[in-house]
Amino acid sequence: MAATAHPFIKIKQREQIFYLTNLPASIVVSVSYASVRGRDQEKGAVQRVLNTRRISNIKDFALNGGDFPNSIVMNWVKNNIKIDEEKGIITFIPEENSAQLIDGQHRVAGLKEAIAEQPEFGDYELPVAIYIGLSTKACADIFLAINTEQKPVHRSLVFDLYEIADEQIVDQAAARARDIAVELNEAGAPFYAMIKFPGEPPRKGGVALSTVVTAIKPLIEPNGIFDQVGLSTFENQSKAIVNFFSAMKLAYGDFWFDRQNAFMYAAGFSGAIDFLGKRIVPYCVKKKSFSDKTIRGAIDIPDSALIFQKELSGKGGTEAQRFVFNRLEESFVSEEVADDYEF
């Protein structure tokens, strides 16, 4: 097997040295492997078991034109590599199991599947950071630095950036949920100025964009609840959700924008969306109407039954969401269904 040579930049951070280079995806997938902690006994085993769904998503992301600007981080373990610091060239024989993956194992596995589907993708260049002969402790230190200290951005920012990102790499359901959040947040809408978008100053009360998108997304995904009942367009999905919260707003009257209204917080919003999907949607399908008038007919919340944030105090997120769902169900005016079915 012939050796391959690549220019590099030498980087020293504290006591560790690594070499930053660019390699074709075909070489990366051929020389690297994941050494799983608790399964593999070799030195440097710090990885987790692969998530097959994540691999499939990365493959699709790659084939749809996604970029991979973050470095794949390797610990080279075979004695088949040569560093020429004078010329700035790194040379190695691209043999299997030459380098352990410290960071990027899912990306590499996804790229491997992408190459299997489109072989020309093997020429795609990737930034790679190569350490040589690290101990298990050193691998663990680097892995933890990447996965704990270098935390991902807040999901609200991710969802907000979907508005301007290339549609090929956007989660379309999440992007539509963000657009619905904008509708809910506009003047005259039920959550006017109460949905917190990135860049806004911190404030008490209000629902983070990430919460809104995460709650709404299951309703509007392909084959989701709305899709199953024929609500597939943005206009219809948006109107159904806005009408639902408009009915809730009418039931609350002057208390709707009160800072203690539970629906102005994450658990209240999520519990309400859960109630919408499981109770209101079937009700509206039966009535063949998603108008706010129809929805108002399904909800009877007396002043004594309004849900306030203080009632959720001390409850965890899931528990608080379930509490809101149950309280709404107590106010649900469902029509009686015959229990004497003929079989």
* Model pLDDT for residues 55-80, shown as the tens digit of each residue: 888 898 888 888 899 999 999 999 99
Q: How does DSSP classify residue 163?
A: T
Q: What is the mean pLDDT of the chain?
A: 88
Separation of alpha carbons 103 and 325, rounded Å: 41
Q: Over 50: is that where the pLDDT of 263 sits?
A: yes
Place 34 in a pLDDT band, splitting at 50, 70 and 90: confident
pLDDT at residue 154 in the model: 65
Q: For residue 17, what are the CA distances in angstroms to 13, 126, 157, 326?
A: 6, 20, 34, 57
Q: Over 50: is that where the pLDDT of 138 sits?
A: yes
Q: How does DSSP classify residue 92?
A: E
**Are 124 and 109 in contact, with CB atoms under 8 Å apart?**
no
Q: Over 80: is that where the pLDDT of 295 sits?
A: yes
* Model pLDDT for residues 237-253, shown as the tens digit of each residue: 999 999 999 999 999 99
For the whole model, what pTM was predicted? 0.64
Q: Over 70: is that where the pLDDT of 175 sits?
A: yes
pLDDT above 90 covers a percentage of the chain that reads 62
**Alpha helix (H) residue ranges in the chain:** 25-31, 52-63, 105-117, 136-144, 155-161, 172-185, 209-220, 225-228, 234-252, 266-275, 281-287, 292-296, 317-330
pLDDT at residue 337 in the model: 47
